[in-house]
Structure 1
Amino acid sequence: MSQLPEQPAEGPVPTSADVARLAGVSRATVSYVLNNNAAVRISDPTRRRVREAAAELGYVPHAAARSLRAGHSRMVLLPTGNFPSGQLHHRFLHELESGLRRLDYTVVQYGSLGLDADDAARAWAELRPAAVIVPGSVPLAPRGTAVLRRSGAKAVITLGPRPVAGAHALIMDQRKVGDCAVRHLLERGRRRIGVVMPEEPGLALFAEPRLAGARQAAAGTARIEPLPLRHDEESATALAARWRLLGLDAVFAYDDVYAMLLMRALQDTGITVPGETAVVGADDLMLGRLLRPRLSSVRMELDTVQSLADLVDRLVRHPGREPERHDLLSARAVHRESS
């Protein structure tokens, strides 16, 4: 009868005491070095010796034990939600994650779909994060903020168009995007302006404020027509087929992706861009510049005095302050051939 080959027995799990013996230092020194404790002066050769010993033994600090001692972790929890596609939010997440890593935090994304506001907050609190950054598409109530603070979270931060009582707020006011797009069209003499409202789940959080900004810019001077649109060719073709009946001479198409979809359908129907209809998107994607006509767009920037990671770190290191509000979003129109 055939037998499976014997598997080599795994050795014992290395401990900080093993690292200390190999490096010739105390366990406290190992802890200071591997936890990047800057409050204790340790020479560079000693730091190198400790790290080399840890690497040789395959030792890593026990995050749960460290969290138990401190009452919280170096974890920044980022519940997953619906972010609008585009360069701005990719830049935001990259800057945040890389900056927090530089400051010795670990960013952990947490799937929160299907959880209501109270259940989500309790689930996050179980992990004892140092901070939680909650996107606007993920539910958070003042009760949840209190639960997180009682569990040891030093900072609860919301990211989106609206603040939540008791939490710090990073505001990305999407009204600025719609306002900027419509002002650009008004300057070019357009007075009957459609505004695309994506029908995809989760995007209303961003589309509705953009529509509100468009209406604010056009108040008393132009007509604003909301245009429901799915992100598929059939929906765009159907909208283009009744375009002339709508009597519109311009469209703010929510973002560049929807703008490209709709502009192609309008052109296929025989509607000239920008002759009969001017088109403006948002995000200023490189692909939009390759179209003919080149796509006008709203470029969005993060408008911060300090880096996002430094801001989060300051809120963690100084808990208990009154909630802060930071407006992050600035917008400007980029005029090209489509408008």
Structure 2
Amino acid sequence: MARLAGVSRATVSYVLNNTSTMRISEPTRRRVRAAAEELGYVPHAAARSLRAGHSRMVLMASPTVPLSPLYESFLGDLQAALGRMEYTVVQYGGPGCTGDAAVRAWAELRPVAVLAQSGHGLDPQGVAVLKRSGARAVLTLGPERVDGAHALLTDHSLVGQCAAAHLLARGRTRIGAVVPAERGLDVFSRPMVEGMRRAAEGTGAEVAELPLAHTEEAAARLAGRWRDLGLDAVFTYNDEYAMLLMRALQDEGVRVPAETAVMGADDLLLSRLLRPRLSTVRIELPSGQALAELVDRLVRAPGARTEAHDLLAATAVRREST
């Protein structure tokens, strides 16, 4: 490789190992990388770990519940950003892999960092096990903190509060709150309903929970008794449930928004394609690059004091459906 690139073996080593203490010109770096690509060079992970004094594996626990397109995109961006920083990202887990069993399985892989979403049952003892196995950083993603771990907080009550405030400002006083019947989504939907009720306190408005499975049949049944419920607005958990329910309401002759205002969340493209165009809650999350840099800082400073980082912000987007 050194001969092909026209440089010394030492220079090849410096470039491929991203040695920051050596000043090497960008044209030389490009020649070395081009030679490595031409020769099919693949770095040796174990050797790289020995040089660094720790592995470069970041374990992202597989979600235990279905994720919205927004969160799938967010986690994908984070994974790509970590890859650009030369971490090896492993997604691990499956149905039933929670609590102590999950922690033991993660620890066996000796990751340098672990990111676990809500639903895995990670507790302070589990954090301690992971750190003893070599994890320099343990991060949780969800609404609650775990002692010993850095918390990436996602408070979904803000989403419900934002939606209810918008509907109340539009003069709606009998608001339905869709609660998905699908298993595991209550970790998101329950805080949303709580946020809606907080927004409605002292206004005289009411918030009624509406269990709904994500099927056309379930939506049709709910729409069929809509007028009996006496609701003049509904927050549908997300844009996908909004699409489902709004179509069913229109099939029943319920006029949107004249009789019922409909609001979703996530601000997906489909929210602008529906007719009437869907009002929604735009959920804002930090870039994957910003979180990857946080993970890298924690790996480099494993004794850093654990902190909580609020990730989620919510903004109402008014369109024709409200």
**Under a length normalisation based on structure 2, what TM-score does the superposition of the two structures give?**
0.90
> Among residues 171, 174, 181, which one is paired with 1:192 in the alignment?
174
The answer for unaligned runs of 5 or more in structure 1 is 1-18
AA at the equivalent of 1:181 = A
**Cα separation, partners in 2 of 1:147 and 1:32, compared to 1, 3 Å:** farther
Task: Give matches, 1:298-337, under 5 Å.
Answer: 298-302=281-285, 307-337=290-320
Between stretches 115-124 and 208-217, larger displacement belongs to: 115-124
The CA distance in 1 between the partners of 2:314 and 2:33, in whole Å, is 46
Equivalent residue, structure 2, for 1:237: 220
The 8 Å contact of residues 112 and 138 in structure 1, kept in 2 or not, is answered as no
**Cα separation, partners in 2 of 1:65 and 1:83, compared to 1, 3 Å:** farther
Q: CA deviation at 1:38?
A: 1.6
The CA distance in 2 between the partners of 1:335 and 1:52, in whole Å, is 50
Does residue 1:150 correspond to 2:170, yes or no?
Answer: no
Equivalent residue, structure 2, for 1:288: 271
The 8 Å contact of residues 73 and 129 in structure 1, kept in 2 or not, is answered as yes
The CA distance in 1 between the partners of 2:257 and 2:310, in whole Å, is 34
AA at the equivalent of 2:67 = P
AA at the equivalent of 1:152 = G
The 8 Å contact of residues 256 and 284 in structure 1, kept in 2 or not, is answered as yes
Equivalent residue, structure 1, for 2:254: 271
The CA distance in 1 between the partners of 2:267 and 2:30, in whole Å, is 46
> Among residues 124, 132, 139, which one is paired with 2:106 in the alignment?
124
Cα RMSD over matched residues? 2.3
Larger radius of gyration: 1
The answer for unaligned runs of 5 or more in structure 2 is none
SS in 2 for 1:115: coil
Q: CA deviation at 1:218?
A: 0.9
Q: How many equivalent residue pairs? A: 318
AA at the equivalent of 1:197 = V
Q: CA deviation at 1:139?
A: 2.7
Does residue 1:181 correspond to 2:163, yes or no?
Answer: yes
The CA distance in 1 between the partners of 2:137 and 2:260, in whole Å, is 47
> Among residues 52, 58, 77, which one is paired with 1:76 in the alignment?
58
**Cα separation, partners in 2 of 1:40 and 1:293, compared to 1, 3 Å:** same
The 8 Å contact of residues 97 and 120 in structure 2, kept in 1 or not, is answered as no
The 8 Å contact of residues 95 and 308 in structure 1, kept in 2 or not, is answered as no
Q: CA deviation at 1:90?
A: 3.9
AA at the equivalent of 2:171 = G
Q: CA deviation at 1:227?
A: 0.6
The 8 Å contact of residues 95 and 309 in structure 1, kept in 2 or not, is answered as no
